Amino acid sequence: MTSKLVYGIDVGTTKIVALFGRTDDRRGWVEVLGMGEAPSYGLKRGVVVDREAATESVAEAIEACGGAFRGVPVSVGIAGGHITSFNTEVTLLNRGRDRIVTRRFVKKLESEARRVELEEDEKVIHVVPRSFVLDGTEGVKQPVGLAARKVTMRAHVVSGAISSIQNLLVAVEDCGVKVSHVVLEPLASSEACLLDEDRSLGVALVDIGGGTTDIATFLRGALTHTAVIPVGGESFSADVAYGLKVPFDIADKLKVRYGSVLSHEVDDVAVVKLEDKHYSAHFISEILECRAQEVLEYARDSLKEARVQNLLPGGAVLTGGGSLLEGMVELAEKILDMRVRVAVPRRIKGDTEPVRKPQYSTAVGLLYFAAKNDDLRPKSKGARATSFDSIVSAVKGWFWGK
């Protein structure tokens, strides 16, 4: 069992986090060796809107990490309101003489699933197999090596805007980084926060980040639904700034230090002090509660639309910086009508204290993702994106003919 280094960059709306670590087991622990963090500029709700500013932020995080990111394969998270997803199924006849299902045949099924009608500026990011049906036998998870004439793959398909994907790639690779995988952020967070038992039981991961709130649900171990809501912690701070008529940075500090989303538990006359000024704690809580309700109602409606809300015995798992607001679990249990808990990254070694927090779930999950992939090298010419695989080489092909 050989040791290998893995790298990840979480390009968020409010912060950029660069991590690198070591793993010697594709499904085991990751040892964190270095971490760098920098304020994020040039992004709005998960999408790059200023290439130069975004690149400078990424470069600052890489420098703070102290790792040699130049030229190494790096996994990068992606989110944004342009992300869409749906479930589909495709069926092919296995014409092999012995009818054994091969990895190549599964790739053909995944390629077939990519042939969906999308908007002109959209491309498929992930095709994630959920289960297979072999000659009428349901619930097959690993079909390779089994015999079947008629094979159906049920899969979850995630797509995104080509322009948004390209802008993210360019902003990161301007720093000399070789992006090997682009990973949907809720999938990365689920790698960090959920165990196989959670996925088997049925659970919804709700990652309340700076610019977006990302959702991923699992039933019987399979990914069944993903969504990206273009509202996150930045909106909470902006609301406080507007309500109190204070600068955004002051509002953000008030949110972090004194934020509660349960206004009925805050005394009407309670005040908080920041930089020699006093503010109504109850009013701040009312503002935050309204926005938290909106975010959680979006999440609830997303689960209802996907018809999974009543199929999740494991309840909901909150992560991301927004999950740290006081009272978020209680409010989420009320609105989502299920049990709720907050999760932090698991199965990490090394100097874990800095990253064992909800706001670093995506970044740590990117390392897990990289560790679980057989080929950590940048994809070569003609490479085809597969389930949980990179769209990088495909995107470059669309624009640069590679």
Query: Within a 10 A sphere around the Cβ of 200, how many other Cβ atoms?
Result: 15
**Of the residues 342, 359, 394, the one at which a domain ends:** 342
Q: Is the domain of 288 the same as that of 242?
A: yes
DSSP label at residue 379: P
Q: Is residue 43 part of a domain?
A: no
Q: Is the domain of 116 the same as that of 235?
A: no
d(CA 174, CA 60): 13
**Of the residues 291, 323, 342, the one at which a domain ends:** 342
Structural domain that includes position 329: 197-342
d(CA 164, CA 30): 30
Determine the length of the chain. 402
**Of the residues 159, 188, 215, the one at which a domain ends:** 159
Q: Is residue 33 part of a domain?
A: no
Q: Is the domain of 205 the same as that of 279?
A: yes
Q: Tell me the backbone φ, ψ of residue 99, rounded to 5 degrees.
A: 60, 20
Count of domains observed in the chain: 2
Per-residue pLDDT of the chain (402 residues; tens, 9 = 90+): 556 788 999 999 999 999 998 886 655 678 888 899 999 999 998 899 999 999 999 999 999 988 778 888 899 999 888 888 899 999 999 988 789 999 999 999 999 998 887 877 888 888 889 999 999 999 899 999 999 999 999 999 999 899 999 999 999 999 988 898 889 999 999 999 999 899 999 999 999 999 899 999 999 999 999 999 999 999 999 999 999 999 999 999 999 988 899 999 999 988 898 888 999 999 999 999 999 999 999 999 999 999 998 999 999 999 999 999 999 999 999 999 999 999 999 888 776 678 899 999 999 999 988 887 644 444 433 333 333 344 444 444 433 333
d(CA 163, CA 399): 10
Q: Is residue 57 part of a domain?
A: no
d(CA 229, CA 298): 7
d(CA 401, CA 158): 23
Q: Is the domain of 226 the same as that of 317?
A: yes
CATH code (residue 229): 3.30.420.40
pTM: 0.85
d(CA 260, CA 287): 9
Cα–Cα distances in Å, from 35 out to 66, 317, 323? 8, 25, 22
Q: Is the domain of 244 the same as that of 319?
A: yes
Q: Is the domain of 118 the same as that of 229?
A: no
CATH code (residue 140): 3.30.1490.110
Q: Is the domain of 338 the same as that of 201?
A: yes
User: What amino acid occupies position 291?
Assistant: R
Q: Tell me the backbone φ, ψ of residue 19, rounded to 5 degrees.
A: -130, 150
